[in-house]
Amino acid sequence: MTEQKTPDQKAPATIPAQSKQLPGGLTDTSMRVTGTRLDPSGALGSRAASAAHLDLDTPDHPYLDSNELVINMGPQHPATHGVLRVILKLDGEKVLGTECVIGYLHRGVEKIAENRTYTMFNPYVDRMDYVAAVSNGLGYCQAVEKLLNVEAPPRANYIRVILTELNRLASHQLWLGTHALDIGAMTPLFYTFRDREEILKIFEKYCGARLTTHAFRIGGCLYETYAGFEKDVKNFLKFFEPKIDEYETLLTGNRIWIERTKNVGVISAADAIALGVTGPVLRASGVKWDIRKAIPYANYADFDFEIPIGENGDTYDRYLVRMREMRQSLRILEQAVNGIPEGPIMAKVPKVIKPAPGEVYHSIEAPKGELGYFIVSDGSTQPYRLRVRPPSFVNLQALDVMVRGALVADVVAVIGTLDIVLGEVDR
Amino acid sequence: MNPVVNSAVNAAAANVGAAPVGTPYFFYGLAAVAILSGLLVITRRNAVHSALALIVTLLSVAGLYLMLYAPFVAGVQIIVYAGGIMVLFLFVIMLVNIERVSKERQFNRIWPVGLVASCLLLALFIGAFAKGRDLLPKNPVPQLSEGINTQQIASALYGDAGRMGQYTFAFEIASLLLLVAILGAVIMTKKKI
Amino acid sequence: MAEESKSPVPTPPEGEVKPTAEKAVPPASVGAQSPEKPVGSVQTTQAAAKPGGEGAPAKPAATAAAPAKPAAPTKPAGPVPMPWTSPMVEKYKAQYGSGLEAQTYLGQNYFSVDRSLIPDFLRLLRDEEQFDYCVDITAVHWPKREKQFDIYWILYSFARNERVRVRTQIGDGATIESSVSIWATADWLEREVYDMFGIQFDGHPDLKRILMPDGWKGFPLRKDYGILQQDKEWVQINLGIESGQ
Amino acid sequence: MLNSFMSYLHSTVTPGEAGNQLWALIYVLIIFAGVSLTVMWLINWVERKALAHFQVRLGPMRVGPHGLLQPFADALKLMLKEDIIPAEADQLIFWIAPVIGLLAAFTVYTVIPFGPSQAVSDMNIGILFMLGVSSLGVLGIVTAGWASNSHYPLIGALRSSAQMVSYEVAMGLAVVSAILMTSLNSTGTGTLSMIGIVRAQQEQHVWFLFKFFPLGFIAFVIFAIAMVAETNRAPFDLPEAESELTAGFHTEYSGLRWSLFMLAEYAAMMAVSSIAVTMWLGGWMRPFPNLLHGPAWELIFSLFPGLSFAAFAGFAFIGTVRMPKHSFFKVQRIGLGIFALVLAFIALVLFVIAIAGRNADTSIAASFREGIDYVYWFLMKIAVFMYLFIWYRATWPRYRFDQLMRVGWKVMLPISLGVLILTAIVGVLV
Q: Is C227 on the interface with A (CB under 8 A)?
A: yes
pLDDT the model gives residue A321: 92
Could you tell me which chain B residue has the CA closest to the CA of D128?
A: B75
pLDDT higher than 50, residue D1: yes
Position D278 in a domain:
yes
> Is the pair A, D in contact (3+ CB pairs within 8 Å)?
yes
Residue-by-residue DSSP string for B65-103: HHHTT-HHHHHHIIIIIIIIIHHHHHHHHHHS-HHHHHH
CA distance A179 to A189: 8
DSSP calls for D307-344: HHHHHHHHHHHHHHHHS---GGGHHHHHHHHHHHHHHH
B39 vs C128, higher pLDDT: B39
List of residues 6+ apart from B131 with CB closer than 8 A: none
pLDDT-based confidence at residue B192 (cuts at 50, 70, 90): low
D155 confidence band (pLDDT: 50, 70, 90): confident
Peptide bond into C119 cis (omega under 30): yes
Instruction: Please state the separation of Cα D393 from the chain's center in Å.
Output: 16
d(CA D159, CA B8) in angstroms, rounded, equals 42
What is the residue extent of each domain of chain A? 101-426
H or E element: which one contains C103? Answer: strand C100-105
Over residues B43-47, the mean pLDDT reads 79
Quick one: average pLDDT of D226-242? 81
User: ∠ CA C139-C141-C144 to the nearest 5 degrees?
Assistant: 150
Residue B95 contacts A where some CB pair is shorter than 8 Å: yes
> With touching defined as 3+ CB pairs under 8 A, do chains C and A touch?
yes
C135 φ/ψ sector (left φ>0, alpha ψ -120 to 50, else beta): alpha
Question: Cβ of D135 and B150 within 8 Å?
Answer: no
Please, what is the Cα angle at C86 between C81 and C91, to 5 degrees?
A: 115
Instruction: Write the CB contacts of B193 (distance below 8 Å, at least 6 apart in sequence).
Output: B186, B187
Give the pLDDT score at D67: 84
Count of CB atoms situated within 10 Å of the CB of C182: 27
Give the sheet arrangement for strand A383-389, strand by strand.
A358-366, A369-377, A383-389
- Residue A2: pLDDT over 70: no
What interface predicted TM-score (ipTM) does this complex get?
0.74
| Residue A187 forms contact with D (CB below 8 Å) | yes
| Higher per-residue confidence, B146 vs A277 | A277
What average pLDDT does this structure show over B55-83? 85
Q: Using CA atoms, how far apart are residues B144 and B12, in angstroms rounded to an integer?
A: 5
Q: What is the mean pLDDT of residues A184-188?
A: 86
How many residues are recorded in chain A? 427
**Contacting A residues, span 224-283, partner chain C, CB-CB under 8 Å:** 271, 273-277
Chain D residues inside the 8 Å CB shell of A91 = none
Cβ–Cβ gap A260/D402 under 8 Å: no
Q: Return residues 53-82 of B near D (CB < 8 Å).
A: 55, 71-72, 74-76, 78-79, 82
Q: Is the pLDDT assigned to residue A76 strictly greater than 80?
A: no
Task: Look at residue D208 and tell me if it is in a domain.
Answer: yes
Contact B142, B10 (CB under 8 A): no
| Predicted local confidence at residue B124, as pLDDT | 92
Query: Residue C57: is its pLDDT beyond 60?
Result: no
Residue A47 vs residue A323, higher pLDDT: A323
The DSSP line for C68-90 is TTT--SSS------EE---HHHH
Residue D307 lies in a domain: no
Nearest to C118, CA basis, from C175, C57, C33: C175
Q: Which of D370, D222, D398, D203 is nearest to D301 (CA)?
A: D370
Contact B95 A62 (CB under 8 A): no
* Most confident among C4-8, D244-248, D395-399 (mean pLDDT): D395-399
The band of C67, judged by pLDDT with boundaries at 50, 70 and 90, is: very low
The predicted pLDDT at position C74 comes to 46
- Kindly report which listed range (A19-28, A171-180, A374-383) carries the lowest average pLDDT score: A19-28
For residue B95, what is the nearest residue in chain A, using CA coordinates?
A: A64
Q: Report pLDDT for B104.
A: 61
Residue D21, min C-alpha distance to chain A (Å): 47
Check whether B122 has a pLDDT greater than 80. yes
pTM for this prediction:
0.77
For residues D293 and D286, give the distance between their C-alpha atoms in angstroms, rounded to a whole number. Answer: 11
pLDDT at A403 over 80: yes
The distance of Cα D77 from the centroid of its chain, to the nearest Å, equals: 25
Per-residue confidence (pLDDT) for residue A294, from 0 to 100? 87
pLDDT at residue D7 greater than cutoff 80: no
**Separation CA D79–CA D93 (nearest Å):** 20
Which whole number is the average pLDDT over D259-273? 88
Residue B139 pLDDT level (bands cut at 50, 70, 90): low
Task: Output the pLDDT for position D253.
Answer: 86
Residues 6+ apart with CB under 8 A from D136: B78, B82, B83, D100, D103, D104
Check the CA dihedral D121-D127-D128-D129 and report its sign: positive
Phi-psi domain of B162 (left: phi exceeds 0; alpha: psi -120 through 50; beta: other)? left
H helices of D231-363, in order, are 242-245, 255-280, 295-302, 304-322, 330-356
Residue D246 lies in a domain: yes
Number of CB pairs, chain A paired with chain B, less than 8 A apart: 12
| Secondary structure string (H, E, C) spanning chain A | CCCCCCHHHHCCCCHHHHHHHCCCCCCCCCCCCCCCCCCCCCHHHHHHCHHHHCCCCCCCCCCCCCCCEEEEECCCCCCCCCCCEEEEEEECCEEEEEEEECCCCCCCHHHHHCCCCHHHHHHHHHCCCHHHHHHHHHHHHHHHHHHHCCCCCHHHHHHHHHHHHHHHHHHHHHHHHHHHHHHCCCHHHHHHHHHHHHHHHHHHHHHCCCCCCCCEECCEECCCCCCCHHHHHHHHHHHHHHHHHHHHHHHCCCHHHHHHHCCCCCCCHHHHHHCCCCCHHHHHCCCCCCHHHHCCCCCHHHCCCCCCCCCCCCHHHHHHHHHHHHHHHHHHHHHHHHHCCCCCCECCCCCCCCCCCEEEEEEEEECCEEEEEEEEECCCCCEEEEEEECHHHHHHCCHHHHHCCCEHHHHHHHHHHHCCCHHHHHC
Decide if B87 and D143 are in contact by the 8 Å CB cutoff. no
Dihedral sign, Cα of residue D334, residue D340, residue D345, residue D348: negative
Residues 6 or more apart whose CB falls under 8 angstroms from that of D293 comprise: none
Q: Which residue has the higher pLDDT, D26 or D377?
A: D377
Q: Do residues D349 and D240 lie in contact, with contact meaning Cβ atoms separated by under 8 Å?
A: no
Write the CB contacts of D278 (distance below 8 Å, at least 6 apart in sequence).
D112, D113, D127, D194, D197, D198
Report the greatest alpha carbon distance in chain D.
72
Tens of pLDDT, residues C141-193: 888 888 888 899 998 888 888 888 888 888 887 888 888 888 888 888 988 99
Residue D233 pLDDT exceeds 70: yes
In whole numbers, what is the pLDDT of chain A averaged over residues?
Answer: 79
D200: exposed, middle or buried (C-beta count within 10 Å: 0-12, 13-18, 19+)?
A: buried
Angle, vertex CA D32, rays to CA D31 and CA D36, nearest 5: 110
Q: What percent of chain C has pLDDT over 70?
A: 67
Residues of chain C in contact with residue A299, where contact means CB-CB under 8 angstroms, are: 41
Between C217 and D382, name the one with better pLDDT.
Answer: D382
What pLDDT shows up at residue C34?
Answer: 37
With respect to residue D117, please indicate whether it lies within any of the assigned structural domains: yes
Residue B14 Cα, gap to closest chain D Cα (Å) = 17
- Touching chains, D (3+ CB pairs < 8 A): A, B
What does the pLDDT average to over B136-162?
A: 67
Name the band, by pLDDT with cuts 50, 70 and 90, for residue C221: confident
CB contact under 8 A, D96 and B19: no
* Residues D376-414 pLDDT 10s: 889 999 999 999 999 998 888 888 888 888 888 889 999
Instruction: Give the 3-state secondary structure of residue B121.
Output: helix
pLDDT above 50 (res B174): yes
| Residue D42 is assigned to a structural domain of this protein | yes
Subunit contact A71:D151, Cβ cutoff 8 A: yes
Q: What is the mean pLDDT of chain B?
A: 75
pLDDT at C179: 86
Tell me the nearest-neighbour CA distance from D238 into chain A, angstroms: 9
Averaged over B171-190, what is the pLDDT?
86
Mean pLDDT of D299-318: 88
The confidence score (pLDDT) of residue A45 equals 36
Please indicate whether chains B and D are in contact, defined as at least 3 beta carbon pairs under 8 Å: yes
What are chain B's domains? 21-99 (1.20.120.1200), 143-193 (no CATH)
DSSP bridge pairs for C200? C175
User: Looking at the DSSP assignment, which residues form a beta bridge with residue A85?
Assistant: A101
CA distances to B48, C52, D78, D188 from D92, in Å: 11, 74, 21, 50
Single-letter code of the amino acid located at C196? M
CB-CB contact of C214 with A106 (8 Å): no
The CATH superfamily of A101-426 is Cytochrome-c3 Hydrogenase, chain B (1.10.645.10)
Q: Alpha helix locations (H) across chain B?
A: 2-12, 23-43, 47-67, 71-76, 86-95, 98-103, 111-131, 149-158, 168-189
Q: Amino acid identity, residue B16?
A: V
Torsion of CA B95, B101, B106, B110, to 10 degrees: -70
Report yes or no: C156 and A276 within 8 Å, Cβ to Cβ: no
The nearest alpha carbon in chain C to A369 belongs to C135
Q: What's the rounded mean pLDDT across residues D285-292? A: 80
Quick check: A5 pLDDT over 70? no
- Residue A399: pLDDT over 80: yes
CB contact under 8 A, A22 and C165: no
Do the domain assignments include residue D291?
no
A362-371, C37-46, C70-79, D135-144: which is most confident: A362-371
Q: Please say if the pLDDT value at position A105 is more than 80.
A: yes
Using pLDDT thresholds of 50, 70 and 90, give the confidence band for residue B34.
very high
Q: What is the pLDDT of residue B37?
A: 92
Domains: count for chain D: 1
DSSP reduced 3-state for D150 = coil
Give the structural domain span for D119: 15-59+69-285+410-429
In contact, C141 and C223? CB cutoff 8 Å: yes
Q: Say whether pLDDT at D290 is over 80.
A: no
Taking an 8 Å cut-off on Cβ atoms, the answer to whether D125 and B150 are in contact is: yes
pLDDT at B120: 94
From CA A31, how far away is CA A400, in angstroms rounded?
10
Question: Which residues are CB-neighbours of B99 under 8 A, at least 6 positions away?
Answer: none
Q: Which residues pair with C154 in a beta bridge?
A: C136, C165
Question: Contacts of residue B18 in chain D, CB cutoff 8 Å?
Answer: 17-19
Pairing of the two strands C162-170 and C108-113: parallel
Is C205 an 8 Å CB contact of chain A? yes
Residue D128, domain member (yes or no): yes
C13: three-class secondary structure by DSSP: helix
pLDDT at residue D301 tops 80: yes
pLDDT mean across residues, chain D: 84
Query: If DSSP codes are grouped into helix, strand and coil, which group holds residue C165?
Result: strand
Q: Which chains touch C (3 or more CB pairs under 8 A)?
A: A
Angstrom distance (rounded) from CA D114 to CA D122: 11
d(CA D185, CA D179) in angstroms, rounded, equals 12
